[in-house]
Copies of this chain bind each other. A is one copy, B any other.
Amino acid sequence: MKNDINDMPEPFGRVTHTADEWVMARIVQKFGGTSVGDVDRIKNVALKVKAEVDRGNEVAVVLSAMSGETNRLVDLVSQMAPLYDAREYDVVVATGEQVTVGLLALALQDLGVSARSWLGWQIAIETDDVHGKARIENIVADELVKRMASGEVPVVAGFQGVAPNHRITTLGRGGSDTSAVALAAAVGADRCDIYTDVDGVYTTDPRIVSKARKIDRITYEEMLEMASLGAKVLQTRAVEMAMKTGQRIQVLSSFEDKPGTLVVDEDEIVEKELVSGIAYSRDEAKITLVRVSDKPGVAAAIFGPLSDANVNVDMIVQNRSVGGDATDMTFTVAQDDLDRAVETIENLSADIGYEKLLSDANVVKVSVVGVGMRSHAGVAQRMFAALAEKGINIQVISTSEIKVSVLIDEEYTELALRALHTAYGLDAT
């Protein structure tokens, strides 16, 4: 059997099998807010679940709240008390998922599929007591596994759990992805299918690069880099949890009936691309301190106070001026943090000693991501050459094991993405 998702029969579980030897798979399906946005969409979800059941698979479902509902509930909480008790926030906000699981269980029953809803405390999905952003510590899955084996579909409320003192917790925004991956790991699922409003992970933003291709398989590490760089298809925590537990994830569309992108271990990908995708983030701002006195401890004097002010610093470069005792220090922060960062630095100007502070929010970070670059030299060089050829000036460079990022003027974003997409051979043919 070839290791190509398009050649594999449904289901493409962990178990090796051929087309004429049918093997049942255990699958967790997760549907996000837009997929359960109204009555008709929930009925559509029920059809997707039924299709998987009809293939002979064991299925559990994890749901988000109807789109807009969580925002409505959070808004009610904020109106009630500006500084709210996160325990009561959780009580209110967790109702969104409680509604959708009840409704989907009804829709499934109406199609003749045996189903029941499960709330976090009923399973139980045990979390710590950090209300509003709790972490799942354990899922008691025995009863669910038993019921799945008997043909019943558990419909599980995502985003919620229960703290040791029996109060309701929520996992933080987007936490339903994490619920789904954790549940998949707990029931030993062959695959965790994350249904969303896009049909997979793309080599880059298809709204900008028309030749962008859907990626068939991507590693956890690449997915993490893509997600943290602004390709918001999967929650970062969900990918981290999948990586830790070795849980295979598929990202696919609720509205189309075709395979999506599989997120898997590196060893499941035979032909590794040098570069899997080009990500970008516009949420960047650059600060340059000109002629900082070049003495030990100056970096700590700058970045310590920024950290205390809760400013996350991303890229950092330091250029020693030739023949001098001063250096230029450049770093990037999120755009929302720019004003706070500038204010923090200016308050420290006497301690640090710099000639002037320059800031620029018209920058974008573009990154090439790929596990293949671990074993290949020249990946960064190809990036620099492609950008130079288009006359794009690189302001800051940073690299990690599986990615190279550059900061460039924001107005070159589209040009850079298209040039790099072509340079790494990612264009659809």
Contacts and interface: CB of A to CB of B under 8 A. Distances in A.
| Number of copies of this protein chain within its complex | 2
Please indicate which of the listed interface residues A87, A99, A116 has the most CB atoms of chain B within 10 Å of its own CB.
A99
A290 interface: no
B88 A117 contact: yes
Task: Classify chain A's interface size.
Answer: 35 or more
Contacts of A81: 106-107, 109-110
Contacts of A102: 77, 88-92
A105 interface: yes
Given A85-B109, A87-B116, A92-B103, A43 B98 contact: no
Contacts of A107: 80-81
Contact of A99 (B76, B117, B121): B76
Given A92-B103, A106-B84, A116-B88, A122 B166 contact: yes
Contacts of A90: 102
A23 to B, nearest CB: 32
Interface in A114-129: 116-117, 119, 121-122
Interface string A39-53: 100110000000000
Interface in A345-384: none
Interface of A: 39, 42-43, 73, 76-77, 79-81, 84-85, 87-92, 94-95, 98-99, 101-103, 105-107, 109-110, 116-117, 119, 121-122, 166-168
A415 B383 CA distance: 93
A79 B43 CA distance: 10
A77 to B, nearest CB: 6
